[in-house]
Amino acid sequence: MSRLIPSLETFAKGSFATAAGLSTVGFGLLYYGQNYLIYPSAFPPGSRTDVPVPTDFGLSYEDLNLHTPDGIILRSYLLRQRKELDHHQAGRVETNESQTDEEFAATRPTILMFHGNGGNHGHRIPLAKVFYIKMRCNVLMLSYRGYGHSDGSPSEKGLKLDAQTALDYITNDSSLSKTPIILYGQSIGGAVAIDLASRNPSKIRALILENTFTSLPALIPNALPLLSPFSFLCHQKWESALKIPLIPRSTPMLLLSGVRDEVVPREHMQALWEVVGRRQGIKASEADGNDEVKGDGQVGEGRSKFVEFENGTHNDTCVQEGYWTTIAEFVASLGDSASISRL
């Protein structure tokens, strides 16, 4: 037995050392490798090479190569409005015979799209098509760094630079600079939109946010439950709940939430709406007669609204009944452009 005890002691010390070593490696992988979990730009397979283009969907477009301050090229798409669209579903708008296409584009809203963390911007062309064809908006589809054919690797700092670069392009364009700019963000794209609006309070007319979160560390227990004890290691913060109060009260927001979202619990969108309500004196419990609308309030010329879709999950809320009608009515309520036909 006396010979056995030193062996057990040695084994115990060795096991402790091994566990400590594995924990250190685990912590290191979590800390330094989390970008691969948060920004899976290669998923689904082929997303870094197979990027649909608008002409695949019958849309003319401009290939837009945006150059960021840190030397990254973002290969994005711009759908610029024209007086006459060769599409039978094109929304009807008032035009002036003497207007050029560029002058007409300057009278329409501009949508700056921020997509979710999977796939690429080409996968969202059907969404851009609704904005472009039905609502007659200009649309800039940003391709984040490390996504699609864009250079670089994604990170919170990098995506913030990308968003600012896209906004700077719009505000320096001869026609787009005259348009009301509306940010549309899905999932992590909503966090990108909130951050951009908080840093450019005078340049953003409105925000449309779908299935986004209060912060990434707060999301980890649901998205990655096995890693919840280590959420303190998350250095990609995206603190949206802290950024909303920095956005002017006069900037309307439309929050769209899928009740059955399996990635971002509906409580995150509800919490963000509470923050919006505190910012501008809206009672989050108020409703306006629509069973899906859980909060509503008058904000300047537009309305901030929170709308839930009972059957919406993380990736299909955008195809739920009433989704695009809600967005079209919100855009029309901003009062900055000519009327559009109802969807």
- Residues β-bridged to residue 306: 255, 295
Is 50 annotated in the active site? no
User: Residue 92 carries which DSSP code?
Assistant: P
CA dist 216 and 188 (Å) reads 9
- The first and second tokens of residue 33, run together, are 């490798």
- The first and second tokens of residue 239, run together, are 């603190």
CA dist 125 and 71 (Å) reads 26
Contact at 8 Å (CB) between 296 and 286?
yes
Q: Torsion-angle region of residue 289: left (phi > 0), alpha (psi -120 to 50) or beta?
A: left
Q: Which residue has the tokens 């619990």?
A: 265
Burial 182-204 (b: 16+ CB within 10 A, else e): bbbbbbbbbbbbbbbbbbbeeeb
CB atoms near residue 206 (< 10 Å): 27
Count Cα neighbours of 90 within 13 Å in the Cβ-side half-sphere.
15
Contact at 8 Å (CB) between 250 and 299?
yes
CA dist 243 and 170 (Å) reads 22
Contact at 8 Å (CB) between 172 and 185?
no
Looking at 314, 316, 333, 341, which residue is catalytic? Answer: 314
CA dist 211 and 308 (Å) reads 10
- The first and second tokens of residue 317, run together, are 């809320």
Looking at 261, 268, 304, 336, which residue is catalytic? Answer: 261
Is 261 annotated in the active site? yes
User: Residue 91 carries which DSSP code?
Assistant: P
CA dist 242 and 230 (Å) reads 22
- Active-site positions read 187, 261, 314
